[in-house]
A = this chain, B = another copy of it.
C-alpha cells in the first residue's frame, strides 16, 4: 500500500509531460500552460488508491487516473471562463492570459484527451468505465449550471446547495475511487461503499473549503480570508447564517451584501460568529467525515489496506490551506 504522498509524487511525475503535440502552439500552449500550474492531483490518486485497495495498481488505473485529472482540468478551464475568474492557483487563468475562444477550445481538446486515455484500457472494462465516467461528467456540468443558477437567486436552501455541491465536487471524487475499484476487480457492494465514502468526503471537503475562506489563518491559508464574503458568493456558511440570523442580523447582512462597505468582511464575520456558524460548519464537516469513514469501514477488505485512504480523508478535511 502506498501513501497519498507517494502516489501523488508518482502520478505528478508521469503527468508532468507534454500532453499535446507541437503542431499548433496557439491552441496547445494554453492547454499545456494550464496543466503545468499543478494542483493537488487528489482525483487521480483516489483512482489509484481505489485500485490498490483490492489489488496491485494496474496500468489501466494509471490511464484512468490521467483521464480523470484531464477531465478535472477541462472543467476548471471552462468554469473560469463562465465565472470570469482572473486567477487560478495564484496565476492567470487561460482566458485572461490568452483569450476566451482559445480557453474554450483548450478545454475542448482537454476533454477529448481525457477520452483518449480511457480508450487505451482493456476493452472489456471500457463500457463499465465509460458509463461511470460519462454519468459523472454530465453531473459535474449540472453542478456548474446549478452553481450559476444559484448566483442569480436571492435565496438558496441548504438542501439545494448540498445537491449542487454533491454534483459539482463530490461525484468526481466518488467516481475516481469507484473507477479504481472497478479496475482493481472489486465487487459491486465494495464499489458502492467506496463511492459513498468519496461522496461524503467531497461534502466534508467543500465544507472545509467554505470554512477556510472565512475562518482560515491567513499565514497558512496563503491569502486573505473573506473572498467569498466580498463576492457575495453562496457558501455553506452564508446559507446557514441566513437561516440562523435574527431579523436584525438578517437586515444587516443584506445591507452589507448590497452596499459593500469597507468593513464588510469583519462585519459579516461578526454575525457569523454570533450565529455560531463556525462551530456548525466544523460539526457538519465531522458528521460527513464520519459518514465517509463508516463507508470505508464497511468496505470488505482487511483494514490495513484502508490506511492510506483514511489518512487522505483526514488530510483533505483538516487541511488549513
Contact = CB atoms under 8 A, between A and B. Distances in A.
B104 A149 contact: no
Interface stretch (A127-135, A179-187, A203-211, A251-259): A127-135
A54 interface: no
B27 A141 contact: yes
A317 to B, nearest CB: 28
B145 A26 contact: yes
Contacts of A120: 127
A214 interface: no
A145 B24 contact: yes
A174 interface: no
Interface stretch (A1-9, A105-113, A268-276, A294-302): A105-113
B81 A104 contact: yes
Q: How many copies does the complex hold?
A: 2
B134 A126 contact: no
B108 A78 contact: yes
Interface in A60-118: 78, 81-82, 100-102, 104-105, 107-109, 111-113, 115-116, 118
Contacts of A81: 101, 104
B145 A130 contact: no
A59 to B, nearest CB: 15
Nearest to A84: B101
List 4 tightest A-B contacts by C-beta distance, closest first. A119-B130, A82-B101, A27-B145, A112-B137
Given A24-B146, A119-B127, A123-B126, 14 more contacts: A23-B142, A24-B145, A26-B145, A78-B104, A102-B148, A107-B108, A108-B111, A111-B111, A112-B141, A113-B138, A115-B134, A115-B137, A123-B127, A126-B130
21 contacts: A24-B145, A24-B146, A26-B145, A81-B101, A102-B145, A104-B104, A105-B144, A105-B145, A108-B111, A108-B141, A109-B141, A109-B142, A111-B112, A112-B134, A112-B141, A113-B138, A115-B115, A115-B130, A115-B137, A119-B126, A119-B130
